[in-house]
Structure 1
Amino acid sequence: MVSHAETMRKSFIEHVDEDRIMDCMRCGFCLLSCPTYIHSDFDETQSPRGRIALMKAVRDGVVEWDGSIEEAFDLCLGCRACEPVCPAGVQYGTLIEETREAIVSVKKQSLKEKTIRKGAFDHLFADHQKMKKAVGLVHFYQRSGLQKVVRKIGFLELFPPFIKEMEKALPKPPSKEINTVQNVPVKTKVAFFTGCLMDTIFKETNRHTIELLNSLGCEVIIPENQQCCGALQGHSGEMERATRNAKVNIEAFDLEAIDYIVNNAGGCGAFLSEYDRLFADDPAYSIKARQFVDKQIDISSLLLKLGMAEKLKLMPNLPQNEIVTYQDSCHLRNVNGVKEEPRNLLKSVKGSVFVELPGAHQCCGSAGIYNLLQPEMASRILRTKMEEVKRIRASTIVTTNPGCLLQMQVGVEKEGFTNIRAVHLVDYIHEKIWREDGGD
């Protein structure tokens, strides 16, 4: 009878590319860029170099698979902060996804885990209408008064602390429906990738995105049938399901009719920009995927291209005493290389002072659903982040990804900061423009 360790080894051979593993020179440049290495008292197994060594050891049969090895991979945030500092160009993001796919392919899952994965990846994140219905229940919970009752009777005490904190950080339901009609001459045509969380929980941010683009001469098209980008599936080892979503999205966009595909979620944008990797060996989709990727642009980059910084600089000074800082979306920075664009926009806002957040390039601990699966490490990372926010006396924390935004809002709530808020970059800029232009 073949042992579980041998089955896992064969799965690693099948899924984890040996050439990518061998790209690692073991130099250690990645170590101090890795949040889990830093927050685990410099445990080598919680570093990119250590995890790559474990990948090779499992693949070669040098070590037998056990719970401690799985934990080392589970604790990886997947933030990919190691990639920009790697002199050898190791594709760590691809390696950790391949590793998780290797594990998921042969791991014996409990009935509970199977049910959760199927519900999430085959229904909630595979059907946008089901996502909307699910979030509709959340909005009912907020609007109906049920939220107040639940809090009052202490029902939330039955849940883990981080769930209670997330519940407190839920954004308010949207006040208006999205309208793509504009009143200025069209200069640019864009298709908007609305995202799953952004088009439901953060629908107000999507509306503000369209209004800002319209004000700069963009015709905004919202393609029907688009689905979740597939990032959550891919990062969880469900590459087949991620690829399924990618095909739906590629087919949903008419690339010939637009100049760009714009998104306002750093994590989504990074995964969308790597669709070509998913179809590298698929002759039916490889060219389409490359064309899809070539049209991708983040909202901060597009706003800069269209002149938003100049528009902000022309606004009159606002009478306020505001220190603004910025927390990077890991994938927006580390995968797409977008780091100065959001900062340049924030520095263009008159009446506020931009202060760099120490460690802004390091993950906040959200990492998709990492804060739900690994609450202890996520809380440790978030606590450090909040200490830096307090130290620079920031009153507004800006970020560019829904998970990061929720995480920072949880941090503000958890620390009891009454004079600090966390907002999406789009909402912040919209607030500054519309305050002077007569509101919305």
Structure 2
Amino acid sequence: MNTAEKQRIQAAFKEKMDYDELMNCTRCGFCLPSCPTYIETGRDEVHSPRGRIALMKGLVDGVIEPSDEVKKSIDMCLGCRACETVCPSGVKFGRLLEQARDAIYQSNKQSLPEKMLRGTFFNHVFPFQNRMIGLTGLLGFYQRSGAQKLARSIGVMKLFPESMQAMEKVLPQVPKKKTMKNRPQHVQPLAKKKKKVAFFTGCLMDTIFMQTNDATIKLLQYAGCEIVIPKTQNCCGALHGHSGEVAKAKEMAKKNIVAFEEAQVDYIITNAGGCGAFLVEYDHLLRDDPEWKERAEAFCRKIKDITAVLVELNFHKQALSMPDQIVTYQDSCHLKNGQKTFMEPRQLLESIDNVTYVEMKDASRCCGSAGIYNIVQSEMSMQILDYKMVQAQQTKAKTIVTANPGCLLQMKLGIEREGLSDQMQAVHIVDFLLEAYENANGIVSSQKEAAAAGMK
């Protein structure tokens, strides 16, 4: 960094950081055992929550200068927020991390390739669902056209890092563009109506993971929900907010608030822990905007994870069954630490006949996915994943269940890396629950029908 860049970053830290929140940290160290990067770096304080807070405060106070080492510490944080749940002072570390990244990335001079890449995806792809469909449609074409098989046979994938090679193998089969564009907007319950809800479909969830979204809708129908799916909703903005693009995140938040205000529903349902944790904090994101503050608060009060609403509607008391197997659960960090949803997924899994639920050691420790972390911080991500797979194998589970698309891909990646694809699978909890319900009630699998339709 040159002198001008350092001065810009220092000024941005003074402007953007919540100093009162920084001062809430008492340096007690309760956060240390919960921090994956602190543990995996051999207990390096620079990569701990209190160490990062000390760096942030030092920059604001002017006792340290911005440096590549400081940026590395901030970048290496997973943003899992496990430190928040154990902090006796209630420090909102996730918010401090977003402020720090905003200060760094909006002030630091980016290389031309980095600037183009960030600008393309953050400004011109994620905010527009039609463009997301177009981009993921290319992936679907790659999978269906024979290009994927050719790339593997001639060794093209060997040019990429090992983690990327494995990730390419575990990506879901992407539906055709026509199927992704033909989405429902209003669905009636298949049981006695109990609630009217809206469904936040997400960007990647309604493209690459569309089958899971379809399963979510079907589960809500079986649970007695009328479902509204606003067409004008867009990406939640989490990737923007976590990557220093806060202004864009606010813009997207406002669009979502408008879209769901018109729905007039009891709850807004999410099925992705990362999205839900960001949506439920729109009130904080827009706290300084008098026009939007109250509207954001009303929006946040309605956010509910699919597992939480299913338990509230006693779905776990219905007939559910699966073939005899051991199942374990990998917490979505943001579902647990952000939305405070912890027991509901376990309660649902334990209610399924023939399923033996075994709790994984450190189930709530981050798996290393963390949005795009497993791409930009691949080495640390794989180190964290290796530990997670050791714990998963010790449960002797056939199925690892999780509640977030990033976690799902990461666990699939871990299974592939360990050569366990013939012994173990990873599934999203709604896919698992739908299969359990339809299996117990003699219903032809709607998931398989939807998957077949999407691939035609």
TM-score (ref. length: structure 2): 0.93
Distance 1:3 1:262 in 2: 46
1:249 paired with 2:256, answer: yes
**Residue of structure 1 in register with 2:453 after alignment:** none
**Residue of structure 2 in register with 1:353 after alignment:** 356
Deviation at 1:41? Answer: 0.4
Deviation at 1:321? Answer: 3.4
Distance 2:369 2:125 in 1: 20
* CA RMSD across the alignment: 1.5
Give the stretch that moved more between structures: 235-244 or 175-184: 175-184
**Residue of structure 1 in register with 2:230 after alignment:** 223
**Residue of structure 2 in register with 1:306 after alignment:** 313
Give the stretch that moved more between structures: 343-352 or 160-169: 160-169
**Residue of structure 2 in register with 1:90 after alignment:** 91
TM-superposition CA deviations, 1:125-144 (whole Å, max 9, x none): 11011001111111111122
Deviation at 1:2? Answer: 5.6
Q: Say which of 345, 349, 370 aligns to 1:342.
A: 345
Distance 1:227 1:353 in 2: 38
TM-superposition CA deviations, 1:347-374 (whole Å, max 9, x none): 0011010000101111000000000000
For 1:152-301, list aligned pairs within 5 A: 152-174=153-175, 180-254=187-261, 257-301=264-308
TM-superposition CA deviations, 1:66-87 (whole Å, max 9, x none): 1111101110000000001000
Amino acid at match of 1:244: E
1:432 paired with 2:433, answer: no
Deviation at 1:32? Answer: 0.4
Distance 1:206 1:6 in 2: 46
Distance 1:284 1:188 in 2: 30
Amino acid at match of 1:434: E
Deviation at 1:178? Answer: 5.2
Amino acid at match of 1:409: K
Distance 2:191 2:338 in 1: 34
**Residue of structure 2 in register with 1:61 after alignment:** 62
CA contact (8 A) 1:276 1:289 kept: yes
1:409 paired with 2:412, answer: yes
1:421 paired with 2:425, answer: yes
Deviation at 1:410? Answer: 0.5
CA contact (8 A) 1:255 1:292 kept: no
**Residue of structure 1 in register with 2:449 after alignment:** none
Amino acid at match of 1:167: E
Distance 1:386 1:178 in 2: 36
Q: Say which of 373, 385, 389 aligns to 1:386.
A: 389
Deviation at 1:307? Answer: 1.6
The residue matched to 1:106 in structure 2 has which SS? Answer: coil
Amino acid at match of 1:293: C
CA contact (8 A) 1:125 1:196 kept: yes
Amino acid at match of 1:423: V
TM-superposition CA deviations, 1:16-54 (whole Å, max 9, x none): 121111110000000000000000000000000000001
Distance 1:357 1:252 in 2: 39
Using a 3 Å threshold, how does the CA distance of structure 1 residues 286 and 351 change in structure 2: closer, same or farther?
same
Distance 1:112 1:161 in 2: 23
CA contact (8 A) 2:197 2:228 kept: yes
The residue matched to 1:73 in structure 2 has which SS? Answer: helix
Task: Kindly tell me the number of residue pairs found equivalent between the two proteins.
Answer: 436
Distance 1:178 1:170 in 2: 21
CA contact (8 A) 1:178 1:207 kept: no
1:118 paired with 2:119, answer: yes
Structure 1: runs of 5+ lacking an equivalent = none
For 1:359-374, list aligned pairs within 5 A: 359-374=362-377
CA contact (8 A) 1:9 1:60 kept: no
Amino acid at match of 1:289: A
CA contact (8 A) 1:21 1:56 kept: yes
**Residue of structure 1 in register with 2:399 after alignment:** 396
Q: Which runs of 4+ in 1 moved over 6 A?
A: none
The residue matched to 1:428 in structure 2 has which SS? Answer: helix
Deviation at 1:181? Answer: 4.6
Amino acid at match of 1:40: T
Amino acid at match of 2:69: S
Deviation at 1:173? Answer: 2.9
CA contact (8 A) 2:13 2:100 kept: yes
CA contact (8 A) 1:178 1:206 kept: no
**Residue of structure 2 in register with 1:22 after alignment:** 23
TM-superposition CA deviations, 1:186-223 (whole Å, max 9, x none): 22111100011110010000001111111121111110
Distance 1:46 1:133 in 2: 38
CA contact (8 A) 2:361 2:391 kept: yes
TM-superposition CA deviations, 1:162-181 (whole Å, max 9, x none): 21111111012349765535
Deviation at 1:428? Answer: 0.3
TM-superposition CA deviations, 1:313-353 (whole Å, max 9, x none): x34x65x3311000000011011110000000000011010
CA contact (8 A) 2:200 2:270 kept: yes
Structure 2: runs of 5+ lacking an equivalent = 447-456
CA contact (8 A) 2:333 2:365 kept: yes
Distance 1:284 1:76 in 2: 33
TM-superposition CA deviations, 1:379-416 (whole Å, max 9, x none): 00000000111111111000000000010000011111
Give the stretch that moved more between structures: 255-264 or 387-396: 255-264
Q: Say which of 301, 324, 327 aligns to 1:324.
A: 327
CA contact (8 A) 1:192 1:261 kept: yes
The residue matched to 1:397 in structure 2 has which SS? Answer: strand
CA contact (8 A) 2:137 2:174 kept: no
Distance 2:141 2:346 in 1: 36
Deviation at 1:185? Answer: 3.4
CA contact (8 A) 1:174 1:202 kept: no
